[in-house]
Structure 1
Amino acid sequence: MTSSLAVEVTLKHLGQAANNFEVGVFFLPFVVETGAELRGLNSSGFYYCNKLQHVKKAWLLGLLVSKLKSDLDAMMDHLNIQTDNPCAVLEQENAKLFLKGTSQDKYKFFLQSTDLAKMRTTYTRIDETTRMIAESTLTQEKAKIVTLRDAKNKVKKHWQEAQKLEWFFVDEKETVAANVENTLKQKERDVVNNAEKLAETKEVVEELEKDQNEANAKLEETSTRMSETIDKRWMHKAIFAKLAARCNGTKLN
C-alpha cells in the first residue's frame, strides 16, 4: 500500500531586492510544492520524493520554472527556510545514539538538529536583553516621571502663589473702589446739604434785603419829613426874627 501527500506553500518573495532569491528567475509571488510517499503498511516513516519538488510562477498560469532539488535547496538556504526533517537522515553512529536514547535524549537531539536549541538560546538572550532594556527604560521613565512631577508641583505652587497675589490685588482694588464710592456718596450728600443750606441762606438774604429796602424807604421818608420840618423851623425862625426886628425897630435886610 502506498500513500502520498503534497504540500503547497506560496511565498510572496517581498522585502528588499538584495534579500530576494534570483529575482530575474523567480518572480513574485511563487509557489513551492513538495510531496512524500508512504510505502508499505509497516513502514517506519515517509520517504521524501524529491522529484516532486518544483517551483512555479503562480501568477503566470502555473508555469513550471524548475523541478531540481538543488534549486529548491538553494532557495531554502537563501531564505533560511528548513523543510526536511533533520532527523530523517542520520549518520550511522548518530542514528544508533538516537535509537538507543531516551525520549529526553531524542528531544534534545531534535532540538539540536533543528537548531531549535540555538534559537531558544538566541530568544533567551533576546528576552534578557529586552528585559534589561525594558528595566533601564522603565528606570529612566520613572526618573522622568519624578522630574515631571516635581516640575508640576513647582508650576502648581507658582500658580497658587500667583492666584493669591491676584486675589490680594483684587481685594485691594475693591477696597480702594469702595472707599472712593463712599467718598463720592459723602460728597453727593454734602452737595445736597450745601444746596439746601444755600437755599435757606438765599431765603434769609432775600428777607434781609426786603427788610433793608423797607428800612431804607422808611429812613428816606423820615429824612424827607425831617428836612421838611427843618425847613419849616428855619422859615419860622426867619419869620420870628423879622417880627422881632420890627418890634425892636431894627431894619433887617
Structure 2
Amino acid sequence: MSKPSSHRKRRAATEAGIDGNDEDVVQASNSSSPRKRRARVAAQDRGNHYQEDDEDMDAEEENEKNRGSTTKHRRSDQGVSADNSLILSERATNPVGKPPEAGVIKKIYVENFMCHRKLTVELCQNVNFINGANGSGKSAILAAVQICLGAGAKRTHRARNLKELVRKEAGSNCAGAKVRVTLLNRGDDGFQRDVYGDTITVERSISLRGGYNGYKLLDDQLKEKSRSKRDLDAMLDQLNIQVENPVAVLDQEEAKKFLMGKEEDKYAFFIKATELERLDQTYASAVDNIQDLEETKNRVSSSMVESKANVKKLYKEWQEFQELEKLEDKILDDRVLFAWSAYNVLNGKVHEQEKVWL
C-alpha cells in the first residue's frame, strides 16, 4: 500500500481528537508502541461512539421537531378544513323553508316555435340538464328563453328575423308562434309583488298575419298586467337577467367564438361578458342626451333674448297702468271732496236765505 498523505493523516488525527496541525504528534502516534496504539484506538472508538450518540440524539431531537411540525401542520390543515366546511355550510343555497331567489326560471312553454309543435319544460330551482339527440330541439329551448326575455332573432344564431323562428311544419294555416317563460318572483328582490304575485310570466307572440306581435307580462294567475317593453326591461333589470350577456346565455356559436375564434371575437366576448359594451352604450346614450340638452338650452337661451325684451316692455306698461289706477283712485277721491264742498256751500246759502226770510 502507498503511504498515507499528510492530508489523510491530518483528517485521521482530527477524527481521533488530535490537532491535525501538529505534525509531530501525528508522527509520534504512528511510531508509538502497539499497546499505546490499541489504547488510542479504544479511545478513538469511545469518541466515535460518543459522537454517534450525539448524532443519534440530534437526529431524535430533529425527529421530535418534525413530528411537532407535522402535528402542527395537521392541526392547521384540520382548522382550514373546518373553516372551509363552515364556509360551505353558510353558502348552502335554497335551504329548507327558505324561498329561492327571484328571477329563477320555473317553466318554459313553446308553441309552433322552431321544431316544437307544443312543449312544456318544468325546471327545478337549482341546476337543470337537458339532453337529447342532435336536432331534437335542445337549442330551441335556449332560443325560446332568449327571445321571450328581450333578445333579438340574430342573437340566437338561428334566424335573421322572428318569423323564421316559426315552425315550418305548421303549414300555411299557422298564425304564428308563442313562447312563455315563467319566473319566480318571491322574496324581497321580487318585481312589483303587489301587482304580479309569486310568479311573473313573460309571453312573446310572433305573428305571421298581422296579429299582435310583442310582449305580455302576466301575473301568477296568468292575467295580463302590461304590454310595455319598458316594464319588461325594468323587470329584467331588477332581477338582474342579462340575455345579451354570453356568460349568462352561452350558446354553441358563442362558445365556438370563445374557444376557437379570432382575437377580435374574444375581445367582443370579453366586453359583452363584463358588461363593458352595455356600459359604453349607456355612456354614449348619456352623452347624446347631454348634447341634446345643450342644444335645447342654447336654442331657448337665444329665444329668451327677445322674450326678455318683451317682458321689460310689458313690465313698463304694467307700471304705467298701475300709475293710471292710482290717478283714477285720486280722481274718485277728489270728486267726493268736490261733492262735499258743493254741499257745504249750498247748505250755507240755504241758512242765509232762511235768516233773511225770518
Normalising by the smaller structure, the TM-score range is: 0.3 to 0.5
Structure with the greater alpha carbon radius of gyration:
1
Structure with higher RCO (Cα < 8 A, 6+ apart) = 2
TM-score by length of 1: 0.43
TM-score by length of 2: 0.32
